[in-house]
A = this chain, B = another copy of it.
Amino acid sequence: MTRNVAIVGTGHSKFGNRHDVNMPELAWEAIKQAIDEAGIEQKDVEFVSFSNVGGWSSEGLASVVSLEYAGLTGAGLYRVEAACSSGSAAIKAAHDAIASGEADIAMAIGLEKMNESPTPTVIEFIGRAGNFFWEFQNFGLTFPGYYALYATAYMAKHGATEEDLCKVAVKNHYYASLNPKAHFPIPITVEKCMKSRYIAWPLKLYDCSPITDGAAAVVLASEEVAKKLTDSPVWIESIGVSSGTSNLSRRDDFLHLEAGTLAADRAYKKAGLSRDDIVKHVDVAEVHDCFTIAEILAYEDLGFAKRGEGYKLIRDQETYKGGKIPVNLSGGLKAKGHPLGATGISMAVDLSRQLQGRVEKERQADIKVGRALAHNIGGTGHYAYVTLYSLSKPRR
């Protein structure tokens, strides 16, 4: 019934402190690459889902202004927001527009200038993505604090150590050092991470993702159009989505993100996969490592490891290239950077290029089954998106 949808063009700006450009210019860096790769012209784009979190508050119409600068005015348009998972939400929106027959060519564009926060501090800006009235305003919780609660609970229950968390940072900084688009392409050691200052115990500076500006874009097309545009489409095989409670007090435990688990199960079910042997069916994954603990939780929520054993995957280096399931070979949110609205689309860009075997050689995964997984969380599991990308055309 549904129509197949493929990624036919990808674009990615340099991530970092981008004081050198304004928002439309930053978006254009990614948009131009994506339309050039797709071999299309601006007038071919029928619909754009624009992912941006802070937009309304600083540059009110970041989406409209960026489309205009890019020569895309006239396309159907709306802005999508799902906190830190906005980019994956925008991919779903553009996917649905094509799969439904409403468009043949659509773009998902993600943009965030975290260094132009609409609130007095960027910590408040991000902090608002938690439960605002109770947890943020009354108790003062912000994101390092939220994830520190999870880290503390996880370490106490399962015996993981601060060194284990730092090992995630070391891996992701290593891969960032191989990715010219990354914000912090600088390798670090466990020792350097362990000596960095505490932000919210047990999370230290190197356990936290940075404040990053960036943009990413993909061109999506229907099967019929994709065939004409490219010999190497990357298909969107399935999308699993869930929302979760905004109240930490209502969660069963601080050992997993329920929405993330649910989104994974939904994505796997649509693709006919099981979480029990998922690692055999995925070549490479990008997961939501806004903090190092979040990557370890993701291993378990996605079925890469059994409950309580996620930290062993990083201890045993099984999430490095060549390991059981390579994770965040882009550098991840942790070291590539986390411009909220761009992150989910950045994942799609890097995974597409991984599947096509065209990222930098040292961080190129072995592509055997031809499937990649993106895991993108909004808030602390208020939103969750799991998207499977495949070199094989899905059978509907």
Contact = CB atoms under 8 A, between A and B. Distances in A.
Contacts of A242: 74-77
Contact of A61 (B93, B95, B382): B382
A200 interface: no
A198 interface: no
B65 A131 contact: yes
A367 interface: no
A55 B132 CA distance: 11
Interface string A50-61: 000111111111
A6 to B, nearest CB: 14
B96 A100 contact: yes
Interface stretch (A155-163, A244-252, A309-317): A244-252
A99 B259 CA distance: 24
Contact of A78 (B74, B89, B100): B89
Interface in A51-88: 53-61, 64-65, 67-68, 72-83, 86
Interface in A183-199: none
A239 interface: yes
A47 interface: yes
A232 interface: no
A72 B97 CA distance: 24
B246 A65 contact: yes
A151 interface: no
A101 interface: yes
A82 B80 CA distance: 9
A133 B62 CA distance: 11
A129 B60 contact: yes
A60 B128 contact: yes
A73 B128 contact: no
A243 B131 contact: no
Given A59-B132, A77-B383, A383-B77, A96 B102 contact: yes
B68 A1 contact: no
B128 A56 contact: yes
Interface size for chain A: under 10, 10 to 19, 20 to 34, or 35 or more residues?
A: 35 or more
A243 B64 contact: yes
Contact of A56 (B54, B64, B65, B92): B54
Given A100-B96, A118-B57, A77 B82 contact: yes
A11 interface: no
Contacts of A59: 132-133
A379 interface: yes
Contacts of A74: 242-244, 259, 262
A261 to B, nearest CB: 11
A393 interface: no
Contact of A245 (B73, B78, B129, B262): B73
Interface of A: 1-3, 47-48, 53-61, 64-65, 67-68, 72-83, 86, 89, 92-93, 95-102, 118, 127-133, 136, 239, 241-247, 259, 262, 379, 382-383, 396
Given A61-B128, A81-B81, A99-B101, 9 more contacts: A55-B81, A57-B57, A59-B132, A64-B246, A65-B132, A75-B242, A76-B243, A79-B81, A95-B100
15 contacts: A1-B3, A53-B56, A56-B56, A60-B136, A61-B379, A64-B246, A72-B243, A73-B245, A75-B243, A76-B243, A77-B243, A78-B81, A96-B96, A96-B97, A99-B102
